[in-house]
């Protein structure tokens, strides 16, 4: 049976991973000179408390040794590692090096070209189909990716600037004007601007309009996202009449770049897009 591996950006807790039979490799968050393995010695609650208190972290992909250790646990069985987009992190490359250098010929490393709850949907899909050959599961993920959607708003441009994603002049002017960037993940796996809204109320309204403009596939879950607080995600759920859906805190590695008070959602559309 196919073994499934992912990283901590998939928003899968240790308890859920155990239930799904999925192995998690933690991404690395650095505060000052100290490194933390997300989900092991740094929780999301601890991370966002430090972030909102004024500490700004850096992020790093897991070490080759971290992957080697998890790959060794497959005991030579077929395994599929579904990982955060290679355009957002060096995690995929490190995993491939670990598989090559360790001689793990039955470990297949898959670039999801996404992250956060999008990646979760992919991992859940693979886990449900783990009795199928790895080639079939990969083909299934290839077909799923063009139908995966994520839309979110960022409360402040400060963290995009600090993370090197935005010029300081744009950040300052945008925050002064109350601009809330609307972001998505492109088919190439990059976080890109999808629009701008003046104020949180307008940002939530635009996200709600984007959600209702496209038919979702009922065979897949809708996941709502937040960073330090669920309140904006709950407001978004109410706006699209999806109260009661699951809300996930965005992982530390992604939260580093988008900051507090962000909200969004992930769903699978009935039709694919290739843009």
pLDDT given at position 177: 58
Give mean pLDDT, residues 180-205: 89
pLDDT of residue 161: 63
What pLDDT, on a 0 to 100 scale, did the predictor assign at position 193? 81
d(CA 196, CA 236): 17
The two tokens of residue 198 are 């003046």
Q: What average pLDDT does the segment 192-210 reach?
A: 91
**Three-class DSSP category at 131:** coil
Residue 191 has what pLDDT?
A: 84
Scored b (16 or more CB within 10 A) or e, 253-270 reads bbbbbbbbbbbbbbbbee
SS3 of residue 31 by DSSP: strand
Rounded-to-integer distance, Cα 271 and Cα 144, Å: 10
Range of weakest confidence among 106-120, 135-149, 194-208:
194-208
Q: What is the pLDDT of residues 77-86, one digit of tens each?
A: 999 999 999 9
Q: d(Cα 34, Cα 51) in Å, to the nearest integer?
A: 15
Higher pLDDT, 20 or 192: 20
Task: Render pLDDT for 89-113 as a digit per residue (tens, 0 to 9).
Answer: 999 999 999 999 999 999 999 999 9
pLDDT of 167 higher than 60: no
Give backbone dihedrals phi and psi of 203, rounded to 5 degrees, phi first.
Answer: -60, -45
Tokens coding 68? 């080697």
Strands 179-185 and 191-198: antiparallel
pLDDT of residue 174: 47
Give me the pLDDT at residue 246, please.
85
Q: What are phi and psi of 162, to 5 degrees?
A: -60, -30
State residue 92's pLDDT score: 98
pLDDT band at 274 (very low <50, low <70, confident <90, very high): low
For the chain, domains (ranges, CATH) are 3-26+61-146 (3.40.50.10170), 148-268 (3.30.1180.10)
Rg of the Cα atoms in the chain? 18
Residue 275 has pLDDT above 80, yes or no: no
Contacts 24+ apart (CB under 8 A), 46-53: 47/252, 47/255, 48/227, 48/228, 48/249, 48/255, 48/260, 49/228, 51/228, 51/255, 51/256, 51/259, 51/260, 52/228, 52/260
- Average pLDDT taken over every residue of the chain: 91
Burial 19-44 (b: 16+ CB within 10 A, else e): ebebbbbbbbbebeeeebbbbeebeb
């Amino acid at each position: 049976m196919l073994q499934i591996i992912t990283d901590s950006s998939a928003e899968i807790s240790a308890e859920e991973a155990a239930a799904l039979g999925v192995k998690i490799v933690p991404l690395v968050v650095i505060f000052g000179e100290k490194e933390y393995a997300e989900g092991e010695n740094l929780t999301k609650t601890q991370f966002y408390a430090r972030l909102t208190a004024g500490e700004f972290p850096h992020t790093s992909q897991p070490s080759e040794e971290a992957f080697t250790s998890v790959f060794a646990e497959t005991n030579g069985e077929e395994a599929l590692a579904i990982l955060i987009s290679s355009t957002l992190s060096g995690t995929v490359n490190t995993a491939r090096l670990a598989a090559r250098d360790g001689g793990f010929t039955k470990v297949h490393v898959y670039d999801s070209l996404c992250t956060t709850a999008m990646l979760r949907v992919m991992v859940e899909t693979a886990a449900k189909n783990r009795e199928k050959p790895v080639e079939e599961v990969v083909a299934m993920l290839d077909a799923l990716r063009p139908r995966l959607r994520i839309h979110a708003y960022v409360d402040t441009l400060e963290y995009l600037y600090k993370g090197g994603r935005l010029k300081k002049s744009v950040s300052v002017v945008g925050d002064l004007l109350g601009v809330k960037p609307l972001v998505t993940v492109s088919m190439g796996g990059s976080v890109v601007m999808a629009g701008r809204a003046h104020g949180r109320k307008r940002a939530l309204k635009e996200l709600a309009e984007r959600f209702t403009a496209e038919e979702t596939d009922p065979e897949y879950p809708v996941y709502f996202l937040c960073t330090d607080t669920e309140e904006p995600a709950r407001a978004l759920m109410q706006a699209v009449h999806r109260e009661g859906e699951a809300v996930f805190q965005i992982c530390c590695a992604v939260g580093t770049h988008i900051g507090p008070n962000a909200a969004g959602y992930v769903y699978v559309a009935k039709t694919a897009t290739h843009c």
